[in-house]
Amino acid sequence: MDSYGFLLAGLLVTMGTLGDRVGRRRVLLTGAAAFGLASALAAFSTGPEYDRPRWPTLR
């Protein structure tokens, strides 16, 4: 199973409800600011070894 679809569907419903309550424009601008901040942090990363935790792989 792919969890991406479930996560996307759950966030779509949640963010839609939040947009109805606090305003669509505010939710859109907050999301854009969070995306920009995450992009800036990714731009200053030193390498791909920090992308995910170093858990033992199961083979």
The pLDDT value recorded for residue 28 is 94
The pLDDT value recorded for residue 43 is 85
pLDDT tens-digit profile of 1-23?
678 899 999 999 999 999 999 99
Q: Is the overall model pTM greater than 0.85, yes or no?
A: no
The pLDDT value recorded for residue 38 is 92
Q: How far is CA 46 from the centre of its chain?
A: 20
Measured distance CA(34)–CA(39) in Å, rounded: 9
CA distances from 41 to 3, 6, 44, 48, 59 (A): 25, 26, 5, 13, 32
